[in-house]
């Protein structure tokens, strides 16, 4: 799956579940701030919990999907649109190739 970043948003990052148990080596755990939402969003699209998700703070990105993709917007309430049409939260949504997602 390929997504072209048209606008990065503010404080958008790619997150996984982190690396726990390595603090004694100086490696901080990091990972998603909201691990419950991270796991649920992955489950909604059929991914394992350790797959990466986008974590958006304040202002999300604008993305162009070059291939058809199944996405899920989960967590805090925010406005998600595809081609100016509002997208539902908390469930999987199929976007065709060439879709522009604005968060």
- Over its C-alpha atoms, the chain yields an Rg (Å, rounded) of 14
Give the position of tokens 């990972």.
31
Give the phi and the psi of residue 33 in degrees, each rounded to 5.
-70, -40
Does residue 15 have a pLDDT over 90? Answer: yes
Q: How confident is the model at residue 78 (pLDDT cuts 50, 70, 90)?
A: very high
**What predicted TM-score, i.e. pTM, was given to this entire model?**
0.87
pLDDT at residue number 29: 85
Span 42-46, mean pLDDT? Answer: 98
Q: What percent of the chain has pLDDT over 70?
A: 99
**Confidence label for 58 from pLDDT (cuts 50, 70 and 90):** confident
């Amino acid at each position: 799956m390929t997504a072209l970043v048209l606008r990065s948003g503010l404080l958008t990052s790619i997150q996984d579940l982190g690396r726990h148990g390595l603090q004694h080596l100086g490696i901080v755990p990091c990972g998603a701030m909201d691990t419950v939402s991270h796991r649920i969003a992955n489950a909604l699209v059929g991914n394992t919990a350790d797959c990466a998700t986008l974590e958006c703070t304040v202002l999300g990105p604008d993305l162009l999907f070059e291939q058809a993709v199944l996405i899920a917007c989960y967590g805090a309430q925010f406005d998600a649109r595809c081609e100016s049409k509002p997208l539902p939260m908390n469930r999987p949504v199929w976007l065709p190739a060439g879709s522009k997602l604005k968060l």
